[in-house]
A and B are shown apart, each in its own frame.
Chain A
């Protein structure tokens, strides 16, 4: 069987961002191919805790997050599958007055930008939303239409819909080099070359390697973010909960299991594809969870894991045109908060391909903003 080699676009990386870009391009009538070195959603896109969160975003990301939440709310219409998205809200808890002041200041700054999705909760309002929260918590910040979904299922939903619209997904296909030839990219892989006039770099933690093949230098650090999940517990929590003063991402899934994350780092193993956990650091995560939710103290942990994600020095992703290679676009390095943005960034990429412009502000994410800084 011969593999088709010529496409309208080559997408490198079969994670959420690559599959979303493929879907949006296929929806616009293009025929993209997704090249995935392993299997779809192998790393961050299946390991992510799955928070669909606008709460606490960097101001540069807010317009994208506001547009993306609408896509989350219409995902079933768009893809025929909602990846079990539940809009149960997101809450950031303040454990003391100092944290509370920080949250109030944050809410004010977001309002000043013209947004009203982040709402301050007093002690009583916090308990109404989060009855199981520890007595010492004094209030919080809340976004109502946020929630969570299943990362693997979201990625698979974009992939399956993209395929239904004519996109091709090639798993076990790792990119080894990129060349230009008569206005087209020739992407060399372990399974032969693929050609297209458009290239989308959605290679996640490996995005800088692809960028370098294109001539763009980006300082990107692969990081293993650790998470854990408990056995099923009686229902005690609806919204996803974070913490103002300590790293925490805490949610009870519909099945009753509780997923705890928050950004504590494990290690990326020497081969770059596996992760190792750092249990003394994970213990801090357990401590935070048990402090904010005393009910968790006796919860049994079923599994701990880590996913590999690319981090940039300013904690913002790389989105938009390549500097060195016209026709190439970047969408990687989401620094552990790219899940919510997946639907909209794929749409932005497709817009850039089909119209040469986007109506959302992406200047802050340009690939050459670290020029002159040493690569990590």
Chain B
């Protein structure tokens, strides 16, 4: 093994969630000089946000957040015990094809070079553009969950949960355990018939279904009113959310609410991989973009790999295995182990990773996003930063804007501070619907660095 000069990075990992942490721990064990860059103050990512602090208290919070959350404890503990270097509070605003990373920390921007880069930026919630979704008091379920995990913040006043997907039930169970009164859980749609053919495979995948059914049972036990197959979801209010309106069973219902948590699944967070840009493809099953990678996580750009939910949604457990698999491949690519050793090391992780992924076709088919929410009506804002409605997107299409980048130039959609994170999928879906073409042909925004906030002063002082 060659000596590692201080400051030289074999493997730069972007993101400290399950994939990034597992990759870093494994790569460090194999003797690679690893650096993990993450924008949060503590390791864990979104899924295990704040887990060290919560675990240390071992109090009621830990029970509230459930088994799935507690699984992160050992991943974080192993990472802390490893030789991997860790840069928290560090935004990665740039990854170049030549494997230089632009980072920013404490108001200072810099560039670091790495022999290999692993992108492990996880998932983000799919936007849920309904009338009124920009009102204060309306948030995505994952954001609400984040507050519960990191700050132990419990909402006051009536809470309504709406949408579909496992995370919605998980949040409901967590809120119930925290003593929050849920006024209603409104499930937009689940497709049991379509999902059924995928059930046998999912049953082999592990205890996903038992966990899911357990969550649903806990929510029911707590007496949370559940409405299934709801449509016409609207958030009502002047200055802030006052009520939720919904159609169910042929009639319209109005439910008073101080907080509305929306959710229709999570999608790969591809902001960084698009900015490089890596080659991407449209996943029809998950209705989102994902980078094209092989089983080791290798992308079309030499030396840049992707692991975990940012390569396609597989869940936290699959992500940890994918991280380890990518670490073995990194060691091979850098000449620390040969291909045979990599295959031996990675065999059990590959098997476990594939097993976890078998649950996905069932979950993807059971909880598809509702068509009316993926392609919203004209008056619904799709780009929150620039206040662009679905109707304005359709106008731009009529004026010859045949793709997201042209629509962006016409309407400013996606030009705001979030760079399209919250509108890219909706804009592509609306254009595809208007032109009668598949989304795969429509493409998505070109994403440009910096993908994390960087000030003019910070860039000016770049070394």
Chain A residues close to B by CB (< 8 Å):
39-41, 46, 150, 152-153, 156, 159-160, 169, 171, 228-231, 255, 257, 260, 274, 276-277, 279-280, 282-283, 286-287, 289-290, 296-305
Contact = CB atoms under 8 A, between A and B. Distances in A.
A153 B108 CA distance: 37
Given A39-B406, A302-B419, A304-B449, A279 B455 contact: no
Contact of B399 (A41, A156, A255, A290): A156
A297 B457 contact: yes
Given A159-B400, A302-B415, A282 B459 contact: yes
Contacts of A296: 456-457
Contacts of B223: none
Interface in B403-430: 403, 405-406, 409-410, 412, 415-417, 419
Nearest to B454: A301
A103 B55 CA distance: 67
Interface of B: 94, 96-97, 102, 111, 277, 399-400, 402-403, 405-406, 409-410, 412, 415-417, 419, 448-450, 453-457, 459-462
Contacts of A255: 412
Given A39-B402, A41-B409, A300 B455 contact: yes
11 contacts: A39-B403, A152-B406, A152-B410, A159-B400, A260-B456, A283-B459, A289-B456, A296-B456, A297-B455, A301-B459, A305-B448
B97 A279 contact: no
Nearest to A280: B462
Given A41-B406, A296-B456, 16 more contacts: A39-B406, A260-B456, A274-B277, A277-B448, A279-B449, A279-B459, A286-B457, A290-B456, A297-B456, A297-B460, A298-B455, A302-B416, A302-B417, A303-B415, A303-B419, A304-B448
B111 to A, nearest CB: 7
Contact of A231 (B94, B97, B417): B417
Determine which residue in B399, B417, B448, B459 has the highest number of CB atoms from chain A within 10 A of its CB, and name it: B459
A343 to B, nearest CB: 19
B461 to A, nearest CB: 8
A160 B455 contact: no
B133 to A, nearest CB: 21
A160 B396 CA distance: 12
A255 B399 CA distance: 22
Contacts of A287: 460
Contacts of B456: 230, 260, 286, 289-290, 296-299, 301
Contact of B462 (A153, A257, A283): A283
A46 B460 CA distance: 26
B392 to A, nearest CB: 14
A159 B400 CA distance: 9
Contacts of B419: 302-303
Contacts of B97: 276
A290 B459 CA distance: 10
B429 to A, nearest CB: 19
Determine which residue in B96, B111, B454 has the highest number of CB atoms from chain A within 10 A of its CB, and name it: B454
A97 B189 CA distance: 71
B459 A286 contact: yes
A229 B385 CA distance: 15
Contacts of B461: 283
A152 B399 CA distance: 12
A358 B102 CA distance: 51
Contacts of B111: 279-280
Top 5 nearest A-B pairs by Cβ distance?
A152-B409, A297-B457, A286-B460, A283-B462, A286-B459
A226 B450 CA distance: 13
Contact of A277 (B277, B415, B449): B449
Contacts of B460: 283, 286-287, 289-290, 297
A293 to B, nearest CB: 9
Given A159-B400, A279-B111, A290 B412 contact: no
B94 to A, nearest CB: 7
Contacts of B449: 277, 279, 303-304
Nearest to A172: B402
Nearest to B403: A39
A304 B450 contact: yes
A52 B9 CA distance: 47
A18 to B, nearest CB: 14
Nearest to B386: A255
Contacts of A290: 456-457, 460
A231 B416 CA distance: 7
A92 B419 CA distance: 31
A220 to B, nearest CB: 25
Contact of A303 (B102, B410, B448): B448
A284 to B, nearest CB: 8
Determine which residue in A150, A255, A260, A283 has the highest number of CB atoms from chain B within 10 A of its CB, and name it: A283
B169 to A, nearest CB: 36
Contact of B410 (A153, A274, A283, A298): A153
A46 B448 CA distance: 14
B427 to A, nearest CB: 16
Contact of B409 (A153, A257, A282, A297): A153
Contacts of A160: 399-400
Contacts of B409: 41, 46, 150, 152-153, 156
B400 A300 contact: no
Contacts of A300: 417, 453-455
Nearest to A41: B409
A299 B406 CA distance: 26
A153 B402 CA distance: 14
Nearest to A40: B400
A41 B403 CA distance: 12
Contacts of B417: 231, 300, 302
Contacts of A299: 455-456
A321 to B, nearest CB: 31
Nearest to B416: A302
B388 to A, nearest CB: 12
A304 B96 CA distance: 14
A260 B457 CA distance: 13
Contacts of A229: 415
Nearest to A163: B400
A279 B109 CA distance: 11
Contacts of A274: 277
Contacts of B400: 40, 156, 159-160, 169
B116 to A, nearest CB: 19
Contacts of A303: 415, 419, 448-450
A175 to B, nearest CB: 20
A285 B454 CA distance: 14
A228 B410 CA distance: 18
A276 B96 contact: yes
A231 B454 CA distance: 10
A156 B395 CA distance: 13
B353 to A, nearest CB: 33
A29 to B, nearest CB: 23
A36 to B, nearest CB: 11
A282 B399 CA distance: 34
A298 B461 CA distance: 12
B108 to A, nearest CB: 12
A301 B450 contact: yes
B95 to A, nearest CB: 12
B11 to A, nearest CB: 22
Contacts of A282: 459
